[in-house]
Amino acid sequence: MAAETRKQATGSYLYYKNKPLVREKDTICYGDFSERCVLLFEIMSYTEKNGIKVPGKILIQVLESESGAILKQADKDGLHDAFTYGMFWYEKFLSEAK
């Protein structure tokens, strides 16, 4: 199976803890591909709160930057919980690489 290739996003990025946080449609990617791994969020569903559509079920993946292999995978309800959980594993894997 051929690896998916995408054109690099242009423009300015949002940074969190000095690493890019980029969203394209229902995919959010956090991290620097020059490091061991990156954090990927896939928005699987949406819910409505106070008349606003917000992410519901989120698939979280910590991926090895070079091969794209999944190091850790889980799902959470809500972006806040998903980001908190994903950041814990992402930082853990980065600290093990040193």
What is the reported pLDDT for 97?
64
List 64's β-bridge partners, or say none.
37
Evaluate whether residue 8 is within a structural domain: no
Evaluate whether residue 10 is within a structural domain: no
What is the reported pLDDT for 46?
95
Which structural domain range is residue 69 located in? 15-97
The token pair that represents 40 in the structure block = 């990927």
Number of structural domains the chain divides into: 1
CA proximity to 62, closest of 33, 45, 40? 40
What is the reported pLDDT for 13?
79
81-38-61-30 Cα dihedral, nearest 10 degrees: 40
User: Cα angle vertex 25, ends 17, 77, to 5°?
Assistant: 70
Evaluate whether residue 1 is within a structural domain: no
Evaluate whether residue 2 is within a structural domain: no
Evaluate whether residue 4 is within a structural domain: no
Alpha helices in the chain (DSSP H): 79-97
For the chain, 98 residues long, give each residue's pLDDT as a single digit of tens.
Answer: 455 666 666 667 799 898 999 999 999 999 998 899 999 999 999 999 999 999 999 999 999 999 999 999 999 999 999 999 999 999 999 998 65
Evaluate whether residue 54 is within a structural domain: yes
